[in-house]
Amino acid sequence: MGTSLVTLFVFVSAAVGCAALTWALMPLLARYALARPNARSSHKIPTPQGAGIAVIVATLVVTALALGLTAPTLLALLPLFAATVVIAIVGAVDDIRPIPVLPRFALQALCVGAVVLTLPFDEQIIPTLPLWLERTALLIGGLWFVNLVNFMDGLDWMTAAEGVPVTAALAVFGLLGALTQSPMLIAAALGGALLGFAPFNRPGAAKVFLGDVGSLPIGLLLGWCLLQLALQGHVTAALLLPLYYLADSTLTLLRRMLRREPFWLAHRSHFYQRATDNGFSVREVTRLVFLTNLALALLAGLSIALKSIAADGALLAVGAAVVAALLMRFARRKA
């Protein structure tokens, strides 16, 4: 079977598997993991959470089966898979009975650290940097990325609107030779699983949420795939793909810190959340985010194709302008 067919098979299998497992889990989640509305919520009625279990199980199982014929490759992924399972368990516990901030953060740091510290010593994004300095930066950046994916999972379809375009782009880049097999297949499986979850999370009729059990490990897997893209020399593309999430979450954090707000507590001040307060429907917000991510994926593809430092600078500027336009639109009342 050719690489393209294997990738398509992984995508479809993960979508079907996630949909079936989500459907099977819903009665259990309704009983033990009910998310009740509060002042920071975007939903109005108690809704089961925890369907991220289905997304992660489908992603890991389908990827493992696809790589089953190449045992050394699968063994190399064991630290990532183990960290994904552990951080999912942390999220599951937090969904049912909230864990205090510091222990939760420490457990997340252990999972991200396990992935970063087991990277091969000869793999670096910037070879001129001391290895310890780059790995420290990756640990901090990875921990932030895991949390920002969690922070941005505050509307129906929001994680799918981000994750599906990004993972699809990563899979295409892999097929074109810009990304190695393992992250390509993980991206395809994760994108398929998110698509399988989406029908259960439709805006206005959501039957279930991802929960922290889903958003945290999704952040870890997606961050690892982007890191692999950067390690292949495509740093600009790795920055462009998640640029909307990076901008919304980071600017919101900085704004809250400048206002001396307790930034570590849950809130409703992200740009996408303010958009719903400003008259945008959830479907409008997620559609605009999805279209923005398609534009960013195109810019990332151009960066890989052109292989030019000058072009990279221009593409980053265009991507930043596209994201800034969306953030400013979200921050204003809808006309």
Whole-prediction pTM: 0.94
Check the annotation: does 201 bind a ligand: no
User: What is the per-residue pLDDT for 150?
Assistant: 93
290's tokens: 């999805």
Per-residue pLDDT in tens (0 to 9) along the chain, 335 residues? 578 999 999 999 999 999 999 999 999 888 876 666 554 555 556 788 899 999 999 999 999 999 885 567 788 899 999 999 999 999 999 888 888 889 999 999 999 999 999 999 999 999 999 999 999 999 999 999 999 999 999 899 999 999 999 999 999 999 999 999 999 999 999 999 999 999 999 998 889 999 999 999 999 999 999 999 999 999 999 999 999 999 999 999 999 888 888 776 777 889 999 999 999 999 999 999 999 999 999 999 999 999 999 999 999 999 999 999 999 999 999 87
User: What is the per-residue pLDDT for 189?
Assistant: 98
CA dist 291 → 179, 222, 274, 276, 281 (Å)? 23, 19, 19, 17, 16
What backbone phi and psi angles, to 5 degrees, belong to 242? -100, 20
User: What is the per-residue pLDDT for 143?
Assistant: 96
User: What is the per-residue pLDDT for 39?
Assistant: 47
Q: In the 3-class helix/strand/coil scheme, how is 87-154 assigned residue by residue?
A: HHHHHHHHHHCCCCHHHHHHHHHHHHHHHHHCCCCCCCCCCCCCHHHHHHHHHHHHHHHHHHHHHCCC
Domain boundaries, the chain: 3-235
173: Cβ–Cβ under 8 A, 6 or more apart, which residues?
A: 179, 184, 229, 234, 237, 300, 301, 304
For residues 293 and 226, give the distance between their C-alpha atoms in angstroms, rounded to a whole number: 14
- Asked whether 168 and 41 are in contact (CB, 8 A), the reply is no
- Residue corresponding to tokens 């079936």: 20
Check the annotation: does 153 bind a ligand: no
